[in-house]
């Protein structure tokens, strides 16, 4: 278990697991499914952890390995995004959009 980012690890491990492409066609569908299933408290916690992770400014290859090995994220974002930071910013924006819809 990742003690620094338990909510993010739960999100990635539960939604971007090894077989996520069997359940969804796109990563954005995964995020939409998560938003639909999550309460405000969970979204706020993940938002906070994502912002903290982004502030660490990990180098690209370090971030890639961290997402896979420490946070159990099996989405190969580098095939579609210029960087892990760009993809995580996209995830953060989607979460923020989900929070705005709740308010």
Q: What is the pLDDT of residues 83-98, one digit of tens each?
A: 999 999 999 999 988 7
d(CA 39, CA 37): 7
> Mean of the pLDDT values across residues 49-57?
96
Q: Which residues of 24-46 are buried (b: 16+ CB within 10 A; e: fewer)?
A: beebeebbeebbeebeeebbebb
46, part of any domain: yes
Considering its fold, how many domains does the chain have in total? 1
Whole-structure pTM value: 0.90
Its domain, for residue 94, covers 6-102
1, part of any domain: no
Compute the C-alpha angle 11/16/18, nearest 5°: 135
CA nearest to 89, candidates 37, 48, 54, 62: 54
- Yes or no: say if 12 and 87 are a contact pair by the CB < 8 Å rule: no
Helix 6-15, helix 40-55: angle, nearest 10: 110
Which token pair is 52? 């903290």
pLDDT by residue (tens digit) across 6-23? 999 999 999 999 999 999
pLDDT of residue 54: 97
């Amino acid at each position: 278990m990742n003690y620094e980012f338990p909510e993010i690890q739960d999100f990635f491990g539960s939604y971007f697991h090894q077989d996520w492409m069997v359940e969804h066609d796109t990563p954005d569908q995964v995020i939409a499914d998560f938003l639909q299933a999550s309460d405000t408290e969970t979204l706020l916690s993940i938002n906070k952890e994502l912002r903290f992770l982004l502030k660490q400014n990990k180098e690209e290859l370090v971030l890639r390995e961290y997402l896979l090995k420490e946070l159990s994220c099996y989405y190969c974002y580098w095939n579609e995004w210029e960087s892990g930071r760009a993809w995580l910013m996209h995830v953060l924006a989607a979460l923020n959009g989900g929070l705005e819809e709740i308010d």
